Structure 1
Amino acid sequence: MFNKIQQSSQKASTTKPQKLHLSQGQLFQGRIIKFFPNNIAALQLGNKTVSAKLEAPLSAGQTYWLEVVRAGGIPQLKILDDNSVRRGEQQTQAQVLQQLGIPANKVNDILIRHLATEQIPFTKEVFEKGAQLLLQTETITKEGLQTLTTLLQKNLPLTQESFQAIKAVERSQAPLIQQIAELHSSLQLIEKDNPSLRSYVNGLQNIMKETQMVEGKHPLFHLLHSVSSQGVSQDIREGATQLLQRTGLITGSDSVDKLFELFKAQLIDPTNRASVSKLWPFLLQNGTGGIPIDSMDGKTVFQLLHSRLDQPVNKGDQQQQLQLLLQLFQSKESAKNVTQTLLSMQHSLQHFSSQEKSAIAYMWNQTVSNEQENVRSTIASQFMRIITGVGYLQERELSQFFQGQLSFNEENRGARLKSLLLQLNQLQLSKEMKEKVGLVLHRLTGQQLLAQEQQGPIQQTVLQIPLQLGDWQTEMTVQWEGRKSTNGKIDPDHCRILFYLNLTQLQETIIDVHIQKKVLSVQVFNEHEKPNGLIHALLPLLKKKLSEMGYTLSSIKWVQFQEQKILKANSAQQAYAQRQGYEGVDVRI
């Protein structure tokens, strides 16, 4: 997704004028758009429009090759070719190469045409380095020219390392975590013959483990907890009872007390020993794990065991937990049907009582109970560990270490993915394995190179975070935009944050957050129906946590779009960042 976001941001930026930075010796092909009084004209260079004072007879609507004679103050330009003697585009480009003293050959001809079409400023030195890169990397193709264009537009070093890094990002299709997993599997296959690789296999395993987002207990567990607890309101307990009737756990005239007494009886039934041991292994000790179950009522037993239930890592474990629990409640419903029933509730809230709505809100809030405490978000902390573990901050950490600002031991350094890849790249591995290591390494480096961009006073930062949601391998790309504050960082009180996610159920989702004077407005772009129940349930918690940090939530808007419309109208780009452009460059010709 990272490369798509970069491309979409670049395309979106073409709709607004950009600030033009020219250097002495640069050449470019620009078009005269129209004239104004006092010999002022509008000159177009790609998506850049500049005000130009003309001191030579030029014609509106014509394209000219221009050279920057002086860049300081008001840049002065020299016309390279004469409009009156041109006999076609091909001959003009040949004349430019000739004036630069560059031989005409296949690579140079292709490159000069590409730079003219894209209207990218360049010097003779830059041109020669670019042509050499295309030859060295054997990518005299449309893709190779696109990679070179990115290097030039981002003002990145024209080296093979930078070229390969940007190419790896632009051509990547699979999520980064999937590439890491494939490399891990490949190393495991050859580890038996090469035991020295074990530390690298373990290192990759630890990094992958960190990207795993814990699934958490199934919502039904929280519903059962609310109906059995005296710590929740009467309305929530009554609503939870009604919801359990909808799921089929409570049938007919059965009471809540009877439901939990049935659970208690099944819990101590020897025939259920295998199921109980999977849910609560400690109960195998002395039959009940030292808990006086016989002297406790069913509700108390469930409350005690609910708090000691392991958190499932993935969706499969969660569904297995639920199925075992349903068996202990002697329910004939399957875990899949119960899950579907609970999920469907958020789309039909108008058919539920006020007590049921309160119980639904409580149930969904409990699924993010780790965010309830007045401490730093556990999810945010995990994201920071992933960012550090992948190695995005490795160069900065090394710089701080050498300046004595950071304590950095060998163990910590080896725990970074980029560090592991650099070490692997120095080993004697097969050509195929070297390519796999290099592909991930180049991609990480490419993402670092593309992570920041300055557009006028606006700073833009893009970061990709690999994630595993159960068995779903995906990534979250976060894009920050805003003015820099006095400490050199983006001002958190006046900025824009975009989250790009590809989720299991909701699939491609964009969350656009605008912050002005600590007031947030949020837009969610997705092709699915708005999950009213879920938003209604989690909104109070979101407002509360934002308020604790000094922010106010003003609105949340769900924008539903159809994928086929996006492909035709490019309306998805409207959800991406629209970079602000800046005019005001006067050019004397």
Structure 2
Amino acid sequence: MRLHKIASDGITKNLRQELRNGQIVRGEILKIYPNQKAQIKLSNQQLIAKLEASLVIGNKYHFQVNKSNNTIYLKVIGEKLKNQPKQDYSNLLRQLGMKSTKTNVSLIHKLMSEGIAFNKMQLTSALPILDAAKDKKVAQEVLQVMFRRKLPMNEAIFKALYIENISDQSSLMRQLLQQIENDPKYMNLSHELNRFVEISQIDKEQELLLLQANPKEQFIQQLNRYMKLMDFSNENRLLNNHINQQETFKNMLVQLVSTGSGSIQEQGEKLLHFINGIQLNSITETDNFIQAFLNIPGERLALKKDLELEFKSKKSEDGKINPDYCRVLFYLDLNTLNETIIDMNIKQRAIFVTIFNDNESLQAKTITLLPSLKKGLEGISYTLSSIQFKSVKEQREVKNSPIETKSNAVYQGVDFRI
């Protein structure tokens, strides 16, 4: 998971979220009605509420959600806001009894601006984690993901996502292999690591020939090998948290971390955290969407770095991936073309491709490949609608997925009380 991945981890961020007990929200008084009623704007929602406090039209406040007897009460936190975010969020932290540091204020600002739900208990757990992190920017991004996905706010999950973000999987594998490959205790683990990162020159030449002859088959083979290694071979087992009791690669790592010592234990722990991060981040589902992310070692695919693949899709009526409406993104670092992002958008089986790369001659060099690409897609009932070329410098992050939808519903009735 890199920063581009975290930034695009937004399948649900613009969807209207149900207010939760203890949640802290920012609201504006839009209108005052007779009988102590008012129209209030909370993020991208509007509602008619019963007032039990003296509030003023146009003023903004922080509220804490409290549910009781099927009624939602909004408790005002502190005074009216001054429309100065740093000062307002600093005051909010003090009202909650927390330290008003620059990094803490920045995190609150990001959560509020992104419409990510949070409560006091989560903040109490998250802020010490942020304070202890070396890279505050990455830590904030990771914590945002944890808040958005409602993951438990603890050190173990944070470390898994944090290390996955700042590390390279192949490098972690290679470093561990160098330390254990001559130790008979770790023979099985060494064998599994060898399958991904340790290739002799002869094997490299053979792999390259196979890749050039059958690139699709080689990619699928590497993907399947990786899915099996990471114990992702059964999606239902993963989603239902069923654990494979056989000696999987991860189980061997857990054993190494629990029985090893020194640098071997430390390196094994880093790789274990990375894999935990991959598994936590591999599949995200809502009622209408599914998002998957994979980080595949790139050495056997003749790549300079690991391949990152992100997939988003609407669900079909039976809850499965809808091949007519989906999006696939490939994050690559190629030997000649260097950093490359391929964004493939599918709508009603029409494919719109955007290639991000800083090589100015790339578009001219790929024109001759378009007919075979169109023919190949037509063979599987897809139509190539367009291909665009953009600079990575021009757009560092791939944003604004068309499968994300915004909700600005106005809710009527007295269903909230302040």
Shorter chain as normaliser: what TM range?
0.7 to 0.9
Selected match of 1:78 from 65, 75, 94 = 75
The 8 Å contact of residues 309 and 331 in structure 2, kept in 1 or not, is answered as yes
Q: Which stretch of the first structure deviates more once superposed, 537-546 or 108-117?
A: 108-117
1:444 aligns with 2:275: yes
How many Å apart are 1:204 and its aligned residue?
1.0
Selected match of 2:227 from 387, 390, 400 = 387
TM-score by length of 2: 0.77
Structure 1: 5+ residue runs without aligned partners? 98-103, 216-310, 319-365
Q: Please provide the CA RMSD for this pair.
A: 4.1
Selected match of 2:257 from 425, 432, 442 = 425
The secondary structure found in structure 2 opposite 1:500 is: strand
How many Å apart are 1:443 and its aligned residue?
1.3
Selected match of 1:142 from 127, 132, 136 = 136
Q: Which string of whole-angstrom CA distances, capped at 9 and with x for unpartnered residues, describes residues 457-511 of structure 1?
A: 3332222222116775312222222211244332012211111111111111111
Kindly tell me: are residues 562 and 396 of structure 1, through their superposed partners in 2, closer, same or farther at Cα, counting changes over 3 Å? closer
The 8 Å contact of residues 530 and 558 in structure 1, kept in 2 or not, is answered as no
> Counterpart in 2 of 1:333?
none
Selected match of 2:163 from 168, 191, 194 = 168
Kindly tell me: are residues 134 and 438 of structure 1, through their superposed partners in 2, closer, same or farther at Cα, counting changes over 3 Å? same
Selected match of 1:572 from 383, 396, 409 = 396
- Amino acid across the alignment from 1:142: K
How many Å apart are 1:419 and its aligned residue?
3.2
> Counterpart in 2 of 1:96?
96
1:492 aligns with 2:323: yes
Selected match of 1:370 from 197, 204, 214 = 214
The 8 Å contact of residues 6 and 141 in structure 2, kept in 1 or not, is answered as no
Structure 2: 5+ residue runs without aligned partners? none
- Amino acid across the alignment from 1:380: I
Distance in 1 of aligned mates of 2:14 and 2:91:
30
How many Å apart are 1:537 and its aligned residue?
4.4
- Amino acid across the alignment from 1:515: I
Kindly tell me: are residues 574 and 428 of structure 1, through their superposed partners in 2, closer, same or farther at Cα, counting changes over 3 Å? closer
> Counterpart in 1 of 2:389?
559
Identity of aligned residues (%): 23
The 8 Å contact of residues 27 and 40 in structure 2, kept in 1 or not, is answered as no
How many Å apart are 1:36 and its aligned residue?
9.4
> Counterpart in 2 of 1:352?
none
Kindly tell me: are residues 377 and 36 of structure 1, through their superposed partners in 2, closer, same or farther at Cα, counting changes over 3 Å? farther
Distance in 1 of aligned mates of 2:141 and 2:173:
26
Kindly tell me: are residues 116 and 195 of structure 1, through their superposed partners in 2, closer, same or farther at Cα, counting changes over 3 Å? closer
Kindly tell me: are residues 486 and 92 of structure 1, through their superposed partners in 2, closer, same or farther at Cα, counting changes over 3 Å? closer
How many Å apart are 1:435 and its aligned residue?
1.7
How many Å apart are 1:527 and its aligned residue?
1.3
Distance in 2 of aligned mates of 1:380 and 1:153:
32
> Counterpart in 2 of 1:464?
295
Q: Higher helix fraction: Structure 1 or Structure 2? A: 1
> Counterpart in 2 of 1:291?
none
Distance in 2 of aligned mates of 1:450 and 1:517:
28
TM-score by length of 1: 0.57
> Counterpart in 1 of 2:55?
58
> Counterpart in 2 of 1:207?
196
Kindly tell me: are residues 131 and 498 of structure 1, through their superposed partners in 2, closer, same or farther at Cα, counting changes over 3 Å? closer
> Counterpart in 2 of 1:182?
175
The secondary structure found in structure 1 opposite 2:261 is: coil
Distance in 2 of aligned mates of 1:515 and 1:180:
35
Distance in 2 of aligned mates of 1:401 and 1:127:
27
Kindly tell me: are residues 535 and 94 of structure 1, through their superposed partners in 2, closer, same or farther at Cα, counting changes over 3 Å? closer
The 8 Å contact of residues 133 and 158 in structure 1, kept in 2 or not, is answered as no
How many Å apart are 1:393 and its aligned residue?
4.5
Q: Which string of whole-angstrom CA distances, capped at 9 and with x for unpartnered residues, describes residues 512-565 of structure 1?
A: 21222322222222111344675344434433433332323233x2414263xx
Kindly tell me: are residues 52 and 142 of structure 1, through their superposed partners in 2, closer, same or farther at Cα, counting changes over 3 Å? farther
Kindly tell me: are residues 41 and 540 of structure 1, through their superposed partners in 2, closer, same or farther at Cα, counting changes over 3 Å? same
Distance in 2 of aligned mates of 1:386 and 1:197:
20
How many Å apart are 1:397 and its aligned residue?
5.2
How many Å apart are 1:585 and its aligned residue?
6.3
Q: Which stretch of the first structure deviates more once superposed, 148-157 or 392-401?
A: 392-401
Distance in 2 of aligned mates of 1:576 and 1:463:
20
